[in-house]
Amino acid sequence: MKLLLKRLLWLSGVFHLEHWLRNRRTLTVAMFHRVLPQGSEAWQHAEQEYAVGLDEFEFCLRFFKCHYNVVSLEQVRRAAQGDGTLPDKALLISFDDGWQDNVDHAQPLLAKHGLRATLFVNVDAVRQQGLRWWQDALVEVAHARPDALATLSPAGDFYSAAQVMLEKPLDERCDVLAPWLGYQPQTRQMLDEAGLAALDRKVWDIGSHGLTHVPMTYAPNLDAELDGSARQLGQWCGGHVTALAFPHGRYTSDIVKRARETTYQLVFSSDARLNRSEAVTAASVLGRIHIPSAAMRDESQGLCARTLALFLWRRQIMATAQS
């Protein structure tokens, strides 16, 4: 009965009206990580919570075009600085980390639909040699061999192991993890410097995702994570980097203050909420909504606009409650 009621409300247009009334003057920031062909080897070994299929990503793009006004990072920056206003039902598409599949699979679909997105790039993911990103390797160890974390660090948890790994040279970290790994990609997982320089700038805006991808609340050198990452990305991409997304969503008010004192005019969290348009200012920390496969799939219908609408609608309720 509950499922039937939801479907009836969707078909009747009640949710569309609710979306318009509650969501008209908000900025939604959609957060993705990986876009991969379902069934591929890379898909099978990806962290499933943070991967969407090609059909799923294109479904999201069609949904966004139908129900939102997709904006660029520059439009958001100008609004935050008081130099412009956001359209009703604004939405920004964002990606984290700097995965090569963002270019291989997401970029053609974004270009096909005439949409821009922001790529928050981690500097060490670009710098690291070899095919596999060491943090992806550590995630595999944490999931498949959690007992190994006790070998890697006295505390025996993921973040403690990551801290120990950070003390080792960047290109030796995967070697340390090799005894517990069962997968080696056939091609490089992350963008390299050449790939970053060759990004289609009609599609992508660039922001920082820190230097090492360590949570900034754990960072031994916060200045390097903030200013160092922006300067390096600026050199690679030939521009001034003015936006930051906090790795792992971790931040404090002091870290936000220091970010603003360096170069950043926009800072993004992983707090799953919408942003009131009038609250998008130079002082705001913008929330982002991670959109997993489950957010757009109905068990009986497959890809389902109603399911995705309900997922985002619940975030509208959260935004209203917090305002």
Instruction: Please indicate, yes or no, if residue 250 is contained in any of the structural domains.
Output: yes
67 touches 316 (CB < 8 A): no
Instruction: Please indicate, yes or no, if residue 1 is contained in any of the structural domains.
Output: no
Q: What does the alpha-carbon distance between residue 122 and residue 23 come to, in Å, rounded to a whole number?
A: 31
Q: What is the pTM assigned to this prediction?
A: 0.91
pLDDT tens, 81-91? 999 899 999 99
Q: Which of 121, 154, 184 is the last residue of a domain?
A: 184
pLDDT tens, 239-264? 899 999 999 999 999 999 999 998 99
Same domain for 100 and 142, yes or no, is no
pLDDT given at position 211: 97
% of the chain at pLDDT higher than 70? 90
Same domain for 119 and 147, yes or no, is no
pLDDT given at position 43: 96
Instruction: Please indicate, yes or no, if residue 6 is contained in any of the structural domains.
Output: no
Same domain for 123 and 18, yes or no, is yes
Q: Has residue 60 got a pLDDT over 90?
A: yes
Strands (E), the chain: 26-32, 34-36, 51-53, 69-70, 90-97, 117-121, 204-208, 243-245, 266-268, 275-276, 285-286, 289-290, 297-298, 302-303
166 touches 139 (CB < 8 A): no
Q: What does the alpha-carbon distance between residue 21 and residue 15 come to, in Å, rounded to a whole number?
A: 10
pLDDT given at position 41: 96
pLDDT given at position 320: 46
Same domain for 141 and 156, yes or no, is yes
pLDDT given at position 14: 54
Q: Show Cβ contacts of residue 151 under 8 Å, excluding neighbours closer than 6 positions.
A: none
Q: What does the alpha-carbon distance between residue 135 and residue 150 come to, in Å, rounded to a whole number?
A: 17
Q: What does the alpha-carbon distance between residue 266 and residue 249 come to, in Å, rounded to a whole number?
A: 14
Return the amino acid letter for 279: A
pLDDT tens, 108-138? 999 999 999 999 999 999 999 999 999 999 9
pLDDT tier, 266 (very low <50, low <70, confident <90, very high otherwise): very high
Instruction: Please indicate, yes or no, if residue 8 is contained in any of the structural domains.
Output: no
Exposure b/e, 282-316, CB count within 10 A at least 16 = b: eebebbbbbbbbebbbbeeeebbbbbbbbebeebb
Instruction: Please indicate, yes or no, if residue 196 is contained in any of the structural domains.
Output: no
Q: Has residue 7 got a pLDDT over 70?
A: no
pLDDT given at position 11: 55
Same domain for 82 and 214, yes or no, is yes
Q: What does the alpha-carbon distance between residue 105 and residue 95 come to, in Å, rounded to a whole number?
A: 13
Same domain for 243 and 153, yes or no, is no
Q: Has residue 209 got a pLDDT over 70?
A: yes
The CATH number that applies at residue 234 is 3.20.20.370
pLDDT tens, 287-320? 999 999 999 998 777 899 988 988 887 766 554 4
Same domain for 147 and 115, yes or no, is no
pLDDT given at position 255: 97
pLDDT given at position 310: 84
Dihedral sign from CA coordinates of 274, 276, 277, 283: negative
Q: Tell me what the pLDDT averaged over the chain comes to.
A: 90
Q: Which of 184, 219, 250 is the last residue of a domain?
A: 184
- Which residues span the domain enclosing 222? 14-129+202-322
Same domain for 106 and 140, yes or no, is no
pLDDT given at position 299: 78
The DSSP bridge pattern shows strands 51-53 and 34-36 to be parallel
Q: What does the alpha-carbon distance between residue 270 and residue 191 come to, in Å, rounded to a whole number?
A: 22
SS3 77: helix
Q: Has residue 19 got a pLDDT over 70?
A: no
Q: What is the mean pLDDT of residues 156-161?
A: 90
Same domain for 42 and 97, yes or no, is yes
Same domain for 149 and 228, yes or no, is no
| Choice among 13-27, 145-159, 307-321 with the minimum mean pLDDT | 13-27
Q: Has residue 12 got a pLDDT over 70?
A: no
Number of domains in the chain: 2
Instruction: Please indicate, yes or no, if residue 191 is contained in any of the structural domains.
Output: no
Same domain for 252 and 313, yes or no, is yes
pLDDT given at position 312: 86
Same domain for 231 and 301, yes or no, is yes
Instruction: Please indicate, yes or no, if residue 194 is contained in any of the structural domains.
Output: no
pLDDT given at position 321: 42
Q: Has residue 94 got a pLDDT over 50?
A: yes
Instruction: Please indicate, yes or no, if residue 178 is contained in any of the structural domains.
Output: yes
